[in-house]
């Protein structure tokens, strides 16, 4: 079928170094299986609805589940992001991802981190915190429940910031501790001040306009229907879907 998605030779060459080694019986065609996984995630289909050209749907699901639990897809994104070579500007922001009822059903396992799903005015959702480079390419991702503050995501992503000159963020990241942490790293903050501040915060308005690239990045991630609407109960599997979209 001409309308099906297939990974190119160039894409396979970039991803194959992150594939786990096969033990015992060799794996079936990696290109076919991964292309099928991407097709399912991009279109938000059930695994049983996978086109026959990608092989048995149980094979696709088994590979997806196994590699997600091992963190293979997250490793792919992190490995490719490490090659970005960004030396000037990074951006930080967060966006809401709606959770389908299938993701919120059944109680979470005891002792676990939970589903990372919370209730907001817009309903049940998850919040995706992200760092991207000046071209809008994601460098690091962090998932929390919807009602969690942007500060929590900023604190979690702070240690992974690359050595750059500038960080762009909206008013949600206007906090003295965050500005001080960036200063300690030698990074200049381009973040407008909150309206409640008694003293006006100066920032480079012309540079700040470039922050729309992280908004574009979020829009492209949400083009994948399995990301725009969360169907997966396990947050690790859901983050794998986001990492895969960011990779290809």
As a whole number, mean pLDDT of residues 232-240 equals: 91
pLDDT at residue 82 in the model: 79
Tokens 């990696």 -> residue: 30
Ramachandran area for residue 44 (φ above 0: left; ψ -120 to 50: alpha; else beta) = left
Is pLDDT of 109 > 80? no
Q: What's the Cα-to-Cα distance from 151 to each of 157, 165, 168, 198, rounded to whole Å?
A: 10, 21, 14, 20
Fold category of 86-234 in CATH: Nucleotidyltransferase; domain 5 (3.30.420)
For residue 43, what pLDDT band results from cuts at 50, 70 and 90?
Answer: very high
% the chain with pLDDT above 90: 74
Strand segments (E) across the chain: 89-99, 118-120, 123-133, 138-145, 166-168, 188-190, 229-230
Q: How far apart are CA 13 and CA 21, in angstroms?
A: 15
Cβ–Cβ under 8 Å, residues 127 and 146: yes
Most confident of 25-29, 100-104, 128-132: 128-132
Q: Is it the case that residue 112 has pLDDT exceeding 50?
A: no
Compute CA distances 177 → 16, 45, 156, 162, 167, whole Å.
41, 43, 13, 19, 15
Contact between 133 and 90 under an 8 Å Cβ cutoff? The reply is: yes
Task: Give the domain ranges of the chain.
Answer: 9-70, 86-234
Is the predicted pLDDT of residue 2 greater than 70, yes or no? no
Position 78 scores a pLDDT of 87
Mean pLDDT of 51-66: 94
Question: What's the rounded Cα separation, in Å, for the pair 83 and 30?
Answer: 23
Q: What is the mean pLDDT of residues 60-80?
A: 92
Residues 227, 219, 154, CA angle at the centre, nearest 5°?
Answer: 80
Task: Determine the pLDDT at residue 86.
Answer: 74
Residues 6+ apart with CB under 8 A from 206: none
Instruction: Look at residue 197 in the predicted model and tell me its pLDDT.
Output: 87
Q: Tell me, what's the pLDDT at 191?
A: 95
Provide the mean pLDDT of the chain. Answer: 90
Q: How confident is the model at residue 102 (pLDDT cuts 50, 70, 90)?
A: confident
Whole-model pTM: value is 0.89
Average pLDDT over residues 149-161: 93
pLDDT score, position 111? 38
Which residues, in sequence order, are bridge partners of residue 144? 127
């Amino acid at each position: 079928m001409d309308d099906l998605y297939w990974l190119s030779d160039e894409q396979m060459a970039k991803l194959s170094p992150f594939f786990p080694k096969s033990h015992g019986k060799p794996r079936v065609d990696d290109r076919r299986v991964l292309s099928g996984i991407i097709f399912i995630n991009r279109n938000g289909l059930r695994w049983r609805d996978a086109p026959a050209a990608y092989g048995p749907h149980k094979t696709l699901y088994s590979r997806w589940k196994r590699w997600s639990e091992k963190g293979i897809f997250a490793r792919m994104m992190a490995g490719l992001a490490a090659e970005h070579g960004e030396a000037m500007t990074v951006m930080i922001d967060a966006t809401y991802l709606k959770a389908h009822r299938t993701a919120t059903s059944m109680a979470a396992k005891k002792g676990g981190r939970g589903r990372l799903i919370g209730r907001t005015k817009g309903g049940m959702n998850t919040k995706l915190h992200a760092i991207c480079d000046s071209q809008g390419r994601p460098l690091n991702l962090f998932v929390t429940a919807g009602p969690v503050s942007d500060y929590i995501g900023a604190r979690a992503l702070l240690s992974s910031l690359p050595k750059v000159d500038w960080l762009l963020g909206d008013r949600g990241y206007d906090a003295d501790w965050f500005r001080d942490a960036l200063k300690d790293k030698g990074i200049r903050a381009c973040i407008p001040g909150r309206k409640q501040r008694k003293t006006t915060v100066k920032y480079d308005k012309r540079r700040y306009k470039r922050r729309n690239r992280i908004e574009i990045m979020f829009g492209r991630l949400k083009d994948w229907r399995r990301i725009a609407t969360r169907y997966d109960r396990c947050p690790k599997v859901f983050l794998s879907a986001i990492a895969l979209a960011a990779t290809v």
